[in-house]
Chains A and B, each alone.
Chain A
Amino acid sequence: MTTATQALDIARIRQDFPRLNAPFHGKPVIYLDSAVSSLTPKPVVDRLTLYQTLEHTNVHRGVSTLSQEATDRFEEAREKVRAFINAPTAAQVIWTRGATESVNLVAQTFGRAQVKAGDEILLSAMEHHSNIVPWQLLAEEKGAKIKVIPMTDAGELILDDLESLLTERTRILGVTHVSNVLGTINPIKEIIARAHARNVPVLVDGAQGAPHLKVDVTDLDADFYVFSGHKMSGPTGIGVLYGRRELLEAMPPWHGGGSMILSVTWEKTTFCGLPTKFEAGTPAIAQAIGLGAAIDYLQALGLERIAAHEHDLLAYASERCAAIPGLRIIGQAKHKASVLSFVLEDIHPHDIGSILDHEGIVVRAGHHCAQPVMQRLGIPATTRASFSYFNTREEIDALVSGILKVQEIFK
């Protein structure tokens, strides 16, 4: 163990998660499913409650002190996100419902304006459906073509031929920072630099990146970076679209409605500047403030200490699982986040998931909204354990015992 790991007081952190101490099938729950959605720590829940009980009214409306204070809290949360990802300005942080909505926003505004018949959209072989389907809808509408950066059996992108995939017709490259199935951490900075050399903008799906890695959109030189609050200890229903300023300014609005206008007449409506242009209607105020509280919580723990602890758990789990006869780890990239997918003999992941569930162990079983990854690897589904800063080595021991029990039942 590293010094950074010892610095995280796991026992104390676990007290912030009532779910970990509540009964589950009469056993202590072992939550190894943070990649599907993270548990919400109590300080974040308390912040949501405080806002909703005492501070709530609408934002950016009226002259009441209450409205002004709600607006201040809401905008402070935006500033926290800005600092968290090192964006140049808070105006480039757009609130959305989540990473999925952020991708759809870009596809329906930037994409619709830029992509014409015969153009190409380049994606990677390890994308989540949320970074595939919005582009397919656009490609279908425009008569454009989707091309795919291939990957190895180990789950690493094959970038040797990236330049030949980036053609004169490529209008955008969409790539995930961290694969939700394989755990692969992609060399995003290098990919962005190579795409920029061909004048192709890059959208990074950071849904699994933001919870585990220090994200610096300025250093990465990302054109768009999207993520969700609920995968990083925040509430559901809130997410972020970061965009390069000139791109965001050139993009038309997406949803129309209140808030996003400067003036409306029957003849003509003029729109607000950033970020409000993309935030029609009453936003998810409590959730935005909750995401700000989640960022405070993660930063108080220390992003480096979190990363070190999760890395230790991944290394330990990989070693213990690899020693189980008949178990094959899916995703053997050199650089991985704390996601461990596996297949076990020919036992279907849903059966594994049900039996582990009975043991109090929560994992994800299925195609993880990444069916093309399953097709590429020739497997119908995997079982996936994902580790967070509150997990322990003892919980991984319990996972291993659970897997052995599955084998026993299926013997």
Chain B
Amino acid sequence: MTDPRELYQEVIIEHNKKPRNYGDLEPCTHHAHGLNPLCGDDIVLKVVVADGIVQDIRFLGQGCAISKASSSLMTVNVKGKPLAEAELMVEQFRAMIRGTLDTAVDPNILGKLSLFQSVKNLPSRVKCAVLPWATLHSALHGEEIVSTE
């Protein structure tokens, strides 16, 4: 990381302060609990899927700014999207963090989520950014508990 501000950009700070789609969601069709046991990030994700569309999605929990902003921005970006598109986003987000997808060069549907690209230079924080996406993947595939350790 050249400068922490590269990662801690205003959008991330702002979503950390005022997370979108924060709260409980009942009834829901899918849910999962994501944990980073090492650092204590902990999110509960609830999703309503109908007609193949992510109709609604909310999260609860605690964590660092990276995990909270990542959760918030994820919900904003997948809400209203067809399931296949949400799944593709999960895949592309993970690839971006792994460093196998460069959002500036490779075609992708990540949009604003490319803000998190610099997390790949900060290996100790990768799991914080990925936690909500891993949890979404688990929720959509019927796994109730996921750990990014």
B1 and A351 form a contact (CB under 8 A): no
Q: Number of A residues contacting the other chain (C-beta, 8 Å)?
A: 18
A351 touches B62 (CB 8 A): no
Does A409 lie at the interface of the complex (its beta carbon under 8 Å from any beta carbon of B)? yes
Asked, given contacts A358-B4, A380-B40, whether A409 binds B13 with beta carbons under 8 Å apart, the answer is yes
The listed residue (B4, B8, B40, B68) touching A381 by CB distance below 8 A is B40
A333 to chain B, nearest CB (A): 24
Which A residues touch B4, using CB under 8 A?
A: 354-355, 358, 409
B100 contacts A by Cβ under 8 Å:
no
| Residue A316 at the chain B interface, CB threshold 8 Å | no
Say yes or no: is A350 at the interface (Cβ < 8 Å to chain B): yes
Contact with A along B63-85 (1 / 0, CB 8 A): 11110100000000000000000
Nearest chain A residue, comparing its CB with the CB of B5: A409
Q: Which residues of A contact B122 (CB under 8 A)?
A: 354
Say yes or no: B66 contacts A380, CB within 8 Å. Answer: no
Output the least CB separation between A129 and chain B (Å): 11
The DSSP consensus for interface residues of chain A is helix
The answer to whether A354 and B125 touch across the interface, beta carbons within 8 angstroms, is yes
A345-369 interface with B by 8 A CB criterion: 347-351, 354-355, 357-358, 365-367
Do A348 and B3 touch across chains, with their CB atoms under 8 A apart? no
Nearest CB in chain A: distance from B29 CB, A = 29
Name the contact of A366 in the complex, choosing from B1, B38, B62, B125 (C-beta under 8 A).
Answer: B38
B68 contact set on A, CB distance < 8 A: 348
0/1 interface trace, chain B 1-30, chain A, CB 8 Å (1 if under): 101110110000100000000000000000
Report the Cα distance A358→B4, complex, angstroms. Answer: 7
B1:A358 contact, CB within 8 angstroms:
yes
Chain A positions 374-411 with a Cβ under 8 Å from a chain B Cβ? 374, 380-381, 409-410
Chain A nearest Cβ from B126, distance in angstroms = 12
Question: What A residues does B39 contact at CB under 8 A?
Answer: 350, 365-367, 381
Nearest-CB residue, chain A, relative to B63 = A348
How far is A262 from B139 in the complex, measured between Cα atoms in Å?
Answer: 58
CB distance from B19 to the nearest CB of A (A): 12
Interface bits B100-132 vs A (CB < 8 Å: 1, else 0): 000000000000000000000010110010000
B residues near A349, Cβ cutoff 8 Å:
64
Contact of B64 among A350, A357, A358, A374 (CB under 8 A): A350
Query: Considering the chains assembled together, what is the distance between the CA atoms of A355 and B125 in angstroms?
Result: 11
Q: Using known A-B contacts A367-B40, A380-B40, determine if residue A350 contacts B128 with beta carbons closer than 8 Å.
A: yes
Question: Distance (Å) between the CB of A366 and the closest chain B CB?
Answer: 5
Closest chain B residue to A371, Cβ basis: B40
**Which chain A residues border B1 with CB–CB below 8 Å?**
354, 358
In the assembled complex, the Cα of A357 lies from the Cα of B122 at a distance in Å of 11
Instruction: Collect the chain B residues with CB atoms within 8 Å of residue A354's CB.
Output: 1, 4, 7, 122, 124-125
Which residues of chain B are within 8 angstroms of A365 by Cβ–Cβ distance?
39
Minimum Cβ distance to chain B for residue A147 (Å): 26
B79 to chain A, nearest CB (A): 25
Of the residues A351, A371, A374, contact of B8 by C-beta under 8 Å: A351
Contact A358 B3 (CB under 8 A): yes
Q: Mark A229-271, 1 if CB is under 8 A from B, else 0.
A: 0000000000000000000000000000000000000000000
Given A409-B4, A409-B8, A409-B13, residue A351 in contact with residue B66 (CB < 8 A): yes
Contacts of B62 in A (CB 8 A): 380
- Contact between A350 and B8, CB atoms less than 8 A apart: no
Whether A351 contacts B38 by the Cβ 8 Å rule is: no
CA distance A267 to B147 in the complex (A): 48
Query: Nearest B residue to A349 by beta-carbon distance?
Result: B64
Please name all residues of chain B whose beta carbon is closer than 8 Å to the beta carbon of A409 when the two chains form the complex. Answer: 4-5, 8, 13
The minimal Cβ–Cβ distance linking B68 to chain A, given in whole angstroms, is: 8
Q: Judging by beta carbons under 8 Å apart, are B125 and A350 in contact? A: yes
Which chain A residues lie closer than 8 Å to B7 at the CB level?
354
A381-B39, A410-B13 known; A348 and B8 CB under 8 Å? no
Residues from chain A with Cβ under 8 Å of B65 in the complex: 347-348, 351, 410
Query: In this complex, what residue of A is CB-closest to B8?
Result: A409
In the bound complex, CA of A366 to CA of B63 (Å): 11
Within 8 A of B (CB), among A329-356: 347-351, 354-355
Q: How far is the CA of A177 from the CA of B122 in the complex (A)?
A: 36
Which 9 interchain pairs have the tightest Cβ spacing? Answer: A348-B64, A350-B64, A355-B4, A351-B65, A358-B4, A351-B64, A409-B8, A380-B40, A380-B62
A-B contact pairs, 22 of them (CB 8 A): A348-B63, A348-B64, A348-B68, A350-B64, A350-B125, A350-B128, A351-B8, A351-B65, A354-B1, A354-B4, A354-B125, A355-B8, A358-B4, A365-B39, A366-B38, A367-B39, A381-B40, A409-B4, A409-B8, A409-B13, A410-B13, A410-B65
Q: Which residues of B contact A (CB under 8 A)?
A: 1, 3-5, 7-8, 13, 38-42, 62-66, 68, 122, 124-125, 128
Other contacts beyond A351-B8, A409-B8: 10, CB < 8 A: A348-B68, A351-B65, A354-B7, A358-B4, A365-B39, A367-B40, A374-B40, A380-B62, A409-B4, A410-B13
